[in-house]
Amino acid sequence: MPLPETLQKLTPGDAILLDDITQMPAFEDMVAEQVDPTMTPAMRDAWAGRVVIRDLLRPPRFNGSLTDIKLVVMEAPLDRLFDARERGWTFSRHIGSGYPNNRPHDDKITGSYQGFELMANAHSTGRGVVGQVQAEIWYGRVPTYRTSELRTLKDGSVSLYHYDNKQAANHGGMSVQRYITSPKLETGVFINLDENARRIGFQVLSHQMRHPIIEPVRN
């Protein structure tokens, strides 16, 4: 089955496979670029300074590593975010990772959201796999606010211009916000992927995003 050239071409139920937790930051960078392709250099720098996801996905009193990570693309991610508590999830208290205060209504914001169900093997040195870590993760654009400005045109007329500005200052300078549930460590019940799920290797996906295939236009 052909692989998608961008994350936007992923469909609900697709499963992205990562070898271990060290690949998560690069994966998040790819998601952030899809969520907000107009990030400024300063916003990218702020995003680079986010809380390390490894620390957010490590269960309490677990000092091992996370391997064989599977990220399953959610359907209706915004709905899943706002009913997560009803489904039994709690959220991280880290700044920029907790539960959102308000549901956005701007189509540009709501349409930017991407969500993933995460499953990973909790691997302990000397003991091997001791359980499965489960969590849910979302990424979306920060809200915007509108400003207006009067501008004088060359013909002397005056026109009112409107600008949508990202509320990056309220999110540590970032234009992309991330929400992560507190991880669960299951030692008895493991979630298995549907055998029909399309599995996509991270390295291949990453390569295709950086080197897209351009097909010639046919008349």
pLDDT, tens digit, 9 for 90 and up, residues 100-123: 777 888 788 888 899 999 999 888
- Tokens in use for 134? 């489960």
DSSP 161-202: EEEEEE-GGGGTT-SEEEEEBPPEEESS------TTSPEEEH
Choose the most confident range, by mean pLDDT, from 132-141, 170-179, 196-205. Answer: 132-141
- Tokens in use for 18? 């990562």
CA quadruple 142, 145, 151, 157: dihedral positive or negative?
positive
Question: Measured between alpha carbons, how far is 171 from 151 in angstroms, rounded to an integer?
Answer: 30
- What are the φ and ψ backbone dihedral angles of 111, each rounded to 5 degrees? -75, -10
Whole-number pLDDT of residue 201: 67
- What are the φ and ψ backbone dihedral angles of 27, each rounded to 5 degrees? -65, -45
Q: Which long-range contacts (CB under 8 A, 24 or more apart) does 33-39 make?
A: 34/6, 34/7, 34/8, 34/114, 35/112, 35/113, 35/114, 35/139, 35/140, 35/141, 35/176, 36/112, 36/141, 36/166, 36/175, 36/176, 38/175, 39/175, 39/176
CB-based contact 118:80 (threshold 8 Å): no
Whole-number pLDDT of residue 1: 39
**Predicted confidence (pLDDT) at residue 58 exceeds the cutoff of 80:** yes
Mean pLDDT of 54-71: 86
Q: Where are the domains of the chain?
A: 7-141+171-210
**Band of the pLDDT at 178, cuts 50, 70, 90?**
very high
In terms of Cβ atoms closer than 10 Å to its own Cβ (0-12, 13-18, 19+), residue 110 is middle
**Band of the pLDDT at 136, cuts 50, 70, 90?**
very high
Beta-sheet strands, E only, within 56-174: 65-73, 114-124, 128-141, 144-152, 158-166
In terms of Cβ atoms closer than 10 Å to its own Cβ (0-12, 13-18, 19+), residue 20 is middle
Residue type, 68: D
Mean pLDDT of 42-60: 89
CB-based contact 204:2 (threshold 8 Å): no
**Band of the pLDDT at 143, cuts 50, 70, 90?**
confident
Question: Measured between alpha carbons, how far is 166 from 175 in angstroms, rounded to an integer?
Answer: 7
Whole-number pLDDT of residue 98: 66
If you ran DSSP here, which 8-state letter would residue 52 be given? P
